[in-house]
């Protein structure tokens, strides 16, 4: 993948990506509230797998080249982990809604920074460790443990964040030997096979209206992934990644307006602390590079 250096365009595309992914989350919240979570994710992944295959067929060498990997177990493990993480996160939407789920999930870049040392052997300096500590203070403010109102369901999006952080680290490790196209191919195929094996037993009849929303869910997912690829083609990842936090803003807006969720003060304060700490870690990583 050839990479340009149009940061302004990359930022614009990244913001569009976060809007599409927020819409995807809103549609997932609606459908998972009406049908089994596994079935919703399965249908979404079937469409995603077709998209991955189409991208592979158009690339040099076709599917054979895209599927060629030197570390098949790692690639399969990544794909399985991601699809399970998505199931956990969509389940969190049904328990807590978009606002609180995304507020907690926002800590995943801090988890990536914290785990990059023991898992990948990367150096994490005291400044980033301080930011990680501050970020988890934000998580505690959101979760409110020990205050008599702690909801154990809040641990569900935190589990999703930990799974996604591990997926990110495994992806970074896989990039040492495999191309981004190969990792992308195995993400879709391994995930689709896994969710089909466990989700096909949860099939439920779906109304015509909800089939329309399911189609919208698939289209927003594919469009978001396609734009994300274009984003990383035109700009450096370190320059555009901080703008991924816009997904929290868009998802919260959808939760508040369409699902009438509440925006508690502890969620606003905690999310603001987490975002600030995450932006600082992005900045430190860019400085070190």
Under DSSP, the state recorded for 259 is S
pLDDT in tens, 148-173: 445 788 889 999 999 999 999 999 89
Domain ranges of the chain: 7-288
Spatial neighbors of 158 by CB under 8 A, at least 6 apart, are 104, 105, 107, 139, 143
Q: Give the up-direction half-sphere exposure of residue 105: CA atoms within 13 A in the CB hemisphere.
A: 29
4: left (phi over 0), alpha (psi -120 to 50) or beta: beta
pLDDT in tens, 104-121: 999 998 998 888 888 878
Residue 124: pLDDT band by 50, 70, 90 thresholds?
Answer: confident
CA dihedral 17, 21, 26, 32 (to 10 degrees): 160
Report the alpha-carbon distance of residue 75 to residue 54 in Å, rounded: 19
Token representation of residue 110:
């801090």
User: How confident is the model at residue 248, as a pLDDT?
Assistant: 93
Report the alpha-carbon distance of residue 72 to residue 160 in Å, rounded: 24
Residue 4: pLDDT band by 50, 70, 90 thresholds?
Answer: low
Considering only 194-198, 239-243, 274-278, which range has the smallest mean pLDDT?
239-243
Report the alpha-carbon distance of residue 151 to residue 141 in Å, rounded: 13
Token representation of residue 35:
């049908």
Mean pLDDT over 221-246 rounds to: 86
For helices 246-258 and 72-105, the axis angle rounded to 10 degrees is 60
User: How confident is the model at residue 113, as a pLDDT?
Assistant: 85
Mean pLDDT over 39-61 rounds to: 94
User: How confident is the model at residue 1, as a pLDDT?
Assistant: 46
Token representation of residue 137:
């203070």
User: How confident is the model at residue 282, as a pLDDT?
Assistant: 81
Placement of tokens 């992914």 in the chain:
21
* Burial group, residue 135, by CB count within 10 angstroms (0-12, 13-18, 19+): buried
Contact 11, 238 (CB under 8 A): no
User: How confident is the model at residue 156, as a pLDDT?
Assistant: 94
User: How confident is the model at residue 23, as a pLDDT?
Assistant: 97
What distance, in Å, lies between the first and last C-alpha atoms of the chain? 20
In whole angstroms, how far apart are CA 158 and each of 85, 91, 195, 225? Answer: 11, 12, 21, 23
């Amino acid at each position: 993948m050839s990479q340009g250096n149009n940061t302004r365009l990359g930022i614009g595309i990244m913001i569009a990506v976060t809007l599409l992914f927020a819409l995807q989350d809103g549609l997932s919240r609606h459908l998972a509230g009406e049908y089994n979570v596994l079935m919703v994710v399965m249908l979404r992944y079937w469409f995603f797998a077709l998209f991955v295959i189409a991208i592979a067929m158009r690339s040099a060498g076709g599917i054979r080249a895209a599927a060629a990997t030197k570390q098949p177990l790692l690639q399969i493990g990544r794909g399985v982990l991601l699809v399970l993480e998505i199931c956990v996160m969509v389940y969190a939407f049904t328990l807590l809604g978009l606002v609180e789920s995304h507020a907690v999930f926002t800590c995943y870049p801090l988890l990536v920074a914290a785990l990059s040392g023991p898992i990948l052997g990367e150096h994490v300096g005291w400044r980033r460790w301080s930011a990680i500590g501050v970020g988890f203070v934000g998580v505690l403010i959101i979760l409110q443990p020990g205050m008599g109102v702690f909801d154990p369901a809040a641990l569900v999006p935190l589990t999703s964040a930990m799974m996604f952080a591990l997926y990110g680290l495994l992806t970074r490790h896989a990039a040492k030997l495999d191309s981004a196209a190969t990792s992308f191919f195995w993400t879709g195929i391994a995930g689709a096979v896994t969710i089909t094996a466990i989700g096909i037993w949860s099939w439920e009849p779906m109304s015509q209206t909800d089939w329309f929303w399911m189609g919208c869910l698939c289209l927003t997912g594919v469009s978001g992934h396609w734009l994300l690829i274009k984003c990383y083609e035109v700009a450096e990842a370190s320059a555009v990644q901080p703008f991924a936090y816009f997904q929290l803003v868009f998802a919260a807006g959808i939760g508040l307006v369409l699902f009438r969720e509440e925006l508690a003060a502890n969620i606003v304060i905690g999310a603001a602390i987490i975002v600030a700490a995450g932006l600082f870690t992005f900045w430190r990583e860019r400085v070190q590079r």
